[in-house]
Structure 1
Amino acid sequence: MSTATGHSTTVAPRPGTAIGRLDSPLAEKIRHDGAVYTGVEPDAEWAAEIRRLAAERDAVILAHNYEIPAIQDIAHHVGDSLALSRVAAAAEQSTIVFCGVHFMAETAKILSPDKTVLIPDEAAGCSLADSITAEQLAEWKSEHPDSVVVSYVNTTAAVKALTDICCTSSNAVDVVASIDPDREVLFLPDQFLGAHVRRKTGRDNVLVWAGECHVHAAINGDQLTAKAGAHPGAELFVHPECGCATSALHLATEGAVPADQVKILSTGGMVDAARASGAREVLVATEVGMIHQLRKAAPEIDFLPVNDQASCPYMKMITPAALLRALVEGADEVHVDPVTAEAARGSVERMIAIGNPGSGE
């Protein structure tokens, strides 16, 4: 078990799998400084070697929107965690290299149980996923035995296994609205997304777990108000996990920012909105890695982070050296107990069955 992340899935290769070391002239440069893998620069030689090794290992490389630009640019697919997990399930390759945090790689394994799933650094955790354990959820459920449990996809496999229906930030409102209005809902783990759901559905029988992503929570209303004041006319793209989501709606209500310029969006929704926007400037309230994909989607727009220090240290553990190591060594392999995986898969499938699978976190 990693003390840095709190997850308990193992990473040792299974007996009989094809995981083994591949030769690479760059492998001897890889170093570990006690926190991250270093020693390799993301230059043209590295990029060519990553592509060669991926082909030799029959691997598809997936990168989350919050990864560093070099990782995003070398990946075969870039997006949010659920969309990438669905890409993984449909991919022809036998190996998935998931450049993201641990719960994301777990979700890919849940949806692709027969494939090998690697994460370049198994210590890359998530403060939001770690804000509730399966034991805590079981206790909460015991206190509310007739409730329906709705869990954000940003949770561990063990939590998903105790969940009735998963949701994403883009479909959380639809998921909760699909539940009998007389049934109590336990919504977890993100308190800001939960507040958004309560606000949009108007339901007072939605109980919300007090969890948060420490990066999104630190993007606050004062920062957003100051940025909006300094950039009149800018559109606001705000992730519902942010501590400033309520402030964004308040700015619109008070007329400080036109209501049609305030958009509460998932990461996938931000890319779509960027392509459709005619704005000159857009203020972005989410992890700063998202700016790279937004600028690629709409290079004519000036995208400005509301908080330029909103960088997830776990996402940034997926370094060029870590990705090289994963492909050379076949590390770190992610396993989910089959019973846990089957139960967790059911909660994701029930979400998709309501008709709006969402665009991810």
Structure 2
Amino acid sequence: MTTTHSTPHQKIRDLAKAKKAIILAHNYQSAQIQDVADLCGDSLEMSIKAAATDAEIIVCCGVRFMAETAAILCPDKIVLMPNPDAGCPMANMVTPEALLKRKEELGGIPVITYVNSSAAVKAVSDICCTSANVVQVVNALKEDEVLMTPDRNLARYAAAHTDKKVHLWDGYCPFHNDLSVEAVKASKAAHPKALFVAHPECTPEVLELADSIQSTSGMIRFVGESSADQFIIGTEIGLLHPISKAYPEKTFFPVSDQLVCADMKKTQLQDIWDCLENMSGRVVIEETIRIKAMDAVKKMINTK
């Protein structure tokens, strides 16, 4: 991608327009990727936008399960992943075979699977959820017991907001799970006027220290609705970019500089150009898996 006469961003935008493509980016992507995207959001927002778009090509800047979700929902679209090596460690902590075995051991109770999971795992799940709607999804089911996978911390958060019995899967997001109480207390001591907003993928001990627990999109909304002007952001540092753009008059501090998802940072501008120019990195889901996974994802989207 040459930069003569126009910026790399403009060249990508022009190419996307010519290809009738839409570029979606997760809130954890680097600033330059977010700035070139048509829409930035959390996993739920990306899923809804993918399902609703009339674009012919969806470029999914995130990790593999996000591109798979777009392909699940949009079989008539071409879904491209700029960097196919961008995976999710938590998604790799559960397999369909192990999940089916555990479901049988628990008597066939409903399986709620976080969208941070493979298409094959979604296909053997009853319904999906995101961090933004997990409580609504759990409470929407009529059964008194559910199995949640793969994030144990999200499951514990949901269990605290329902009367149902929630069985855990022993998976986790490495960087959220590693955020320590000590780091949070140090940040709160350094910024005593700031509210601490935490992601539900953090441990219960960290969540106990939070002034609010929100998904990434929820954090942005919370900041906008709050009268406070200082916030400690307890999630991946990529969120500091969109939240600072949305509310430049407010001040934001990362709870820790260590909250970095290496996979989310793999996608570069050149990757987006290359995948559009060469139509590379296409994500295709085997049809029998796609149909079953689509049922679980659509149930999530339709949950109120």
Report the TM-score range of the alignment, normalised by the length of the smaller protein. over 0.9
Count of aligned pairs: 303
Question: Residue 118 of structure 1: which of 77, 80, 84 is its match?
Answer: 80
The reply on whether 1:134 has 2:83 as its aligned counterpart is no
The reply on whether 1:191 has 2:152 as its aligned counterpart is yes
Between the aligned partners of 2:190 and 2:131, the Cα distance in structure 1 is 28
Contact 1:275 1:298 in 2 (8 A): yes
> Who is 1:290 aligned against?
239
Between the aligned partners of 2:132 and 2:51, the Cα distance in structure 1 is 21
Secondary structure (helix, strand or coil) at the match of 1:155 reads coil
Secondary structure (helix, strand or coil) at the match of 2:259 reads coil
Question: Residue 26 of structure 2: which of 51, 64, 67 is its match?
Answer: 64
TM-aligned CA deviation for residue 148 of structure 1: 0.9
CA deviation vs aligned residue, 1:269-317 (integer Å, no higher than 9, x gap): 0111121122121001100000101101111111111111211111111
> Who is 1:277 aligned against?
226
Secondary structure (helix, strand or coil) at the match of 1:103 reads helix
Secondary structure (helix, strand or coil) at the match of 1:104 reads helix
Secondary structure (helix, strand or coil) at the match of 2:161 reads helix
The CA RMSD measured in Å over matched residues stands at 1.7
Most deviating of 189-198 and 225-234: 225-234
Tell me which amino acid in the other structure corresponds to 1:78: C
> Taking structure 1 as reference, are residues 248 and 86 closer, same or farther at Cα in structure 2, changes over 3 Å only?
closer
> Who is 2:294 aligned against?
345
Please, what TM-score do these two structures have when normalized by structure 1?
0.80
> Who is 1:211 aligned against?
171
> Who is 2:190 aligned against?
230
Between the aligned partners of 1:279 and 1:216, the Cα distance in structure 2 is 24
TM-aligned CA deviation for residue 95 of structure 1: 0.3
Please, what TM-score do these two structures have when normalized by structure 2?
0.95
Question: Residue 160 of structure 1: which of 122, 137, 157 is its match?
Answer: 122
CA deviation vs aligned residue, 1:331-354 (integer Å, no higher than 9, x gap): 100001111111111112222333
The reply on whether 1:201 has 2:150 as its aligned counterpart is no
> Who is 2:254 aligned against?
305
Tell me which amino acid in the other structure corresponds to 2:301: I
Tell me which amino acid in the other structure corresponds to 1:277: S
> Taking structure 1 as reference, are residues 82 and 354 closer, same or farther at Cα in structure 2, changes over 3 Å only?
closer
Aligned residues with identical type, % of pairs: 41
TM-aligned CA deviation for residue 181 of structure 1: 5.0
Contact 2:140 2:303 in 1 (8 A): yes
